[in-house]
Structures are given as structure tokens and as C-alpha cells.
Amino acid sequence: MKKEHKEKKLDVRYKTLVLKKNKKNINKFYSVPFSERIILLPQCLRNIKKCIAKDIGNRYVCQKCGSCKIYHIINSAEDLGYKGVFILKGGRAIIDIIKQFKPKSILGIACFYEGLLGIQECEKNRIPVQFVPLTKDGCFNTDVNLRKLMLILYKRFNNI
């Protein structure tokens, strides 16, 4: 079997699993108030040519320069009172964030592979999660459907 074919088959499996997990967690996720939710973003969503985010260990802190979509996501989350938005350098940072901030639900954005790993970590900690896949993945200059993300970010249990 060709390598490309195997990778496509794996991508389909990741997508299928992630969609099942989203469906399973949707009501629990939305029942959590904004003040107990966090958002996890991949560092690859930054505009690396213009980004001035501060590097603090396993994550970056956005300086709100406006050069990428992270700026809009953070502003919306802050307006709603989210517990936090974190720009992760890698998937292992999720464990530290969960221990430190103790969220009751997580909205995660990543490629399907990293997303599935993040969902599994959340499940170990009994944290409902909703996942939004990157529309363009890779290790830098990725993209996300901001409209789709905002629909999830703004939604509450009473407006499902």
C-alpha cells in the first residue's frame, strides 16, 4: 500500500473519531459557563513573520498585535469572560494547563492528529471538549474557519 494512501486512511480515521467525540461531548461542554471554559490554540496559527507574542515556557502569550486570527479569538473570549486562552507550543502543554487552571470544559483548535491527542487527554481528566480542526494545517502559518469557531465559542447550553 502506498504511503499517501495509508496517510489518507489515517486522516479519515482521525476525522471520524474527532467528530464522534464532539457529538458525545456537546451538551456537557455547553452546560459549562464561559468563566470555567478555556481555549487551546496551536502556536502554528500565529503569523510567524509578524508575531510579537511573549514566550513563557510551554506557551506563548499574545500581545494583541492583530496580525493573525488569534487576536480576534482572544478578544471574543475575553468579552465573554472565558477563563483563559492559551497558545500552546505542543500537545504536552495541555497536561500542565489542565493542572494549573483546572478548566471545566475546553475548546481546542488543532490539526486532526493533535486534536485527537488533546481530546484523549481531556477524557482522562473528565473534561468535556469541543474541537475545531484547522482548515490549513502544517507546522506554521495554518488557518482555521473563524466563523465556525465563533459559533462554538459564543454558544451556551440554553441556545444549542
Mean per-residue pLDDT, 45-57: 90
Higher pLDDT: 115 or 32? It is 32
User: Which CATH fold would you assign to the domain 3-159?
Assistant: Rossmann fold (3.40.50)
| Percent of the chain at pLDDT exceeding 70 | 91
The letter for the amino acid at 85 is: V
Mean per-residue pLDDT, 22-47: 94
Q: Is the pTM of this model over 0.85?
A: yes
Name the pLDDT band for 160 (thresholds 50, 70, 90).
very low
Pairing, β 59-61 against β 84-88: antiparallel
In sign, the C-alpha dihedral spanning 142, 110, 6, 23 is negative
Give per-residue pLDDT as tens, 125-143. Answer: 999 999 998 888 777 778 8
